[in-house]
Amino acid sequence: AFSLRNPSQPDDDVCYIVRGKPETLNSCNFKNTSKTFLVIHGWTVSGLFESWVEKLVAALYNREKDANVIVVDWLDTAQNHYVVAAQNTKMVGQETGLFIDWLEETARFPLEKLHLIGYSLGAHVAGFAGNHATNKVGRITGLDPAGPDFEGVHAHGRLSPDDAHFVDVLHTFTRGSLGLSIGIKQPVGHVDIYPNGGSFQPGCNMRGALEKIASYGILALNNAIRCEHERSVHLFIDSLLNEEEASRAYSCGSNDMFDRGMCLQCRKNRCNTVGYDVSKVRKARSIKMFTKTRGSMPFRVFHYQLKINFLGKINQLAMEPALTVSLYGTNGEAEDLKLNIQEKITPNKTHSFLVVTEKDTGDLLMLKFKLEESTSSLLTLLSSWWYGDSANSGIQVHKIRVRVGETQKKIVLCLKDPQTGSSTQDVAFVKCKEPWRSLSKR
């Protein structure tokens, strides 16, 4: 069933458009020149619409006042064992494709204005609908498309880039540690975005979820993993409501590289906006993109790459210190951010780190490092690193190069006071006089 929702009652099915009955287009006040959204839900245990549906409907009307927002109701077919519901997606997709053809023909509706938004199994329904429609639809957004029974299958058996002129996908629960990945891991669109690596979403209690799955099996999935799986929907809603605070994602070869801050480039379409306002970049292969987020709306964070060249004797042992960093800028500060050390720190090598802040600190003026829970012996050793205490033949840091993802600004920071005594825990770096120079070609 296809329910045209009303902006004043986003949670109510008050009017159904019925294929083959053109009078329902008029009675439901379908506007044939307006943007039209088809919202497609996923697997259901309860047989009822989940609360995100009305939130998404309201957010779409909030952004596009004159739109038609149609909710595709396949609850009866989706309320089955997962495997059966997954098999039913093809049939529901074909029915939706016929509805799209009828809409185009009867209402003379231009399909470039049609945007299908599918969550979980609904993303594959959207793919089958786009594939089955005679002419191509404008856009499909897949919100954490379901993984089981779709991962690794041929493009015709799942959502894929050829199902619409533009297909964008958010992956939020693709971890395989449960023996299966709830969301699909492989890229299935033109642009595939993996917030927080596509697995652990901040603010979701995964430990509790895993315990529930261990106790109750597959039936516990609906509640246990909703937070991570459904985060894809809320990221999209966020992009509709908080246009001025849109998250930015960055093209990267792997999440590991992204976690080292190696991918905060925007040249040649290497960065994009998360959600509704994504730039429609189409290439022969899927573009995999990554971003970090907060645990609640608005989800945007600010990304910084720190490039630090540790100088010292070659035979110096590689170290794994625990470090925090504080950023001080024209708009405020972000203090005690943990530096995620992905590899042992080695002398005479440039190490790259990713740091994220929840607030915009503005133009960076100063950066401070702090040692975390260090013993006095480690403190002495680390102090000798920063300051190059010749008695200890330590490792020196002269400069820190910073790239800010959101502004694309590049800054070089120098040691504020090279003469500082080595007993302090804080090491301050301030803006150098000389411009950024790339240390190495990547």
d(CA 36, CA 15) in angstroms, rounded, equals 15
Is 108 flagged in the annotation as binding?
no
The catalytic position among 41, 73, 120, 149 is 120
Residue 234's SS3 state is helix
Q: Look at the chain and count its residues.
A: 442
d(CA 255, CA 199) in angstroms, rounded, equals 10
Task: For the chain, state the CA radius of gyration.
Answer: 25
The catalytic position among 132, 229, 234, 303 is 229
The catalytic position among 73, 124, 144, 171 is 144
d(CA 282, CA 192) in angstroms, rounded, equals 11
Active site annotation includes 144: yes
d(CA 280, CA 288) in angstroms, rounded, equals 14
| CB atoms closer than 10 angstroms to residue 79 | 15
What's the burial of 268, exposed, middle or buried (CB within 10 Å: 0-12/13-18/19+)? exposed
Active site annotation includes 190: no
Half-sphere exposure of 42 (CA within 13 A, CB side): 26
| DSSP β-ladder status, 191-195 and 164-170 | parallel
Is 163 flagged in the annotation as binding?
yes
**Residue 373, both tokens:** 């829970």
Active site annotation includes 124: no
In sequence order, what are the residues at sequence separation of 6 or more whose Cβ sits closer than 8 angstroms to the Cβ of residue 308? 350, 351, 352, 353, 397, 400, 401
Q: How far is CA 74 from CA 108, 122, 230, 340, 381, in A?
A: 25, 9, 18, 44, 64
Residues comprising the binding site for Ca(2+)? 158, 163
Residues comprising the binding site? 158, 163
Q: Catalytic residue numbers? A: 120, 144, 229
